[in-house]
Amino acid sequence: MLRILLFLGTNLAVLFMAAIAMSVLTALGVIPPDAPYVAMLIWCALFGFGGSIFSLAISKWVAKKSTGAHVIEKPSNDIERWLHSTVQRQAEQAGIGMPEVAIFDSPDPNAFATGMFRNNALVAVSTGLLRLMNKDEVEAVLGHEISHVANGDMVTLTLIQGVLNTFVLFIARIIASQFERGRFFIYIGLQMAFGVLASIIVAWFSRRREFRADAGGADLESSAAMASALNRLKSMRDAPSQLPDALTAFGIRGEGMLKFMATHPPLEERIARLQAR
């Protein structure tokens, strides 16, 4: 539940800062208070997309800092050599550039992929994943993350979020402009409410992309290995995920108490999809 609240809070914070910035620019006369709808939509798009694209642009840096991930530049042991060669092989099979490969210290069995460009991404696994899964399962998880990169999921979700943020800002501003008093507070309240609805839509898209990443992991390795990895996660489902909120949409784990807000489908459903292939 906490992860879901953080997921909501992160995007609402972006929208809130965008609203403050637009209000300041309006007060300074940069944005005319009675600007035509087309002009206002353009301003909203600048802020709506701007925040999402900026977040994606710094995602690799944030991921490394927030998890303390160690990037494998020159493999120093057998595990690092195996991880590096596996990602290299899968990247070649998927037709993308070699991502950076990293390990982060966490007892939570997890992995994630992030980055603005499919030919310059980051794939990281936790020490817990390496300890609790066998090699076939880890390779399937890596294939899942490589598939996220190859499918352009980071960019896709960023663009979807940008479009939704644009209309959240725009519709909230149009409705608030109809009130004489308390316009700013009405604007913020509407923006928060619409922002929650936007997050539900983004989560729905994220769940659809997760099925594709599972299929990609199965294609790069095998359906049996991918299903085995998901079953392993299922057996440890009660352990809370320690992946930073900004990365949960691209981790291998994640469901949530509220299904419509979860960035990942239920593990049972993911396993059933693989078995039906």
Q: Would you tell me how many other CB atoms lie within 10 Å of the CB of residue 52?
A: 22
**Nearest CA to 128 among 155, 110, 153, 102?**
110
Q: Which two tokens stand for residue 47?
A: 């802020």
Q: Is 145 a catalytic residue?
A: yes
DSSP state, residue 101:
E
DSSP type of residue 97: P
DSSP notation for 171-195: HHHHHHTT-SSSHHHHHHHHHHHHH
Helix-then-strand count for the chain, H and E: 10, 4
- CA within 13 Å, CB half, 235: 8
Contact of 229 with 145, CB cutoff 8 Å:
no
Catalytic residue among 145, 210, 221, 255: 145
Catalytic residue positions, numbered:
145
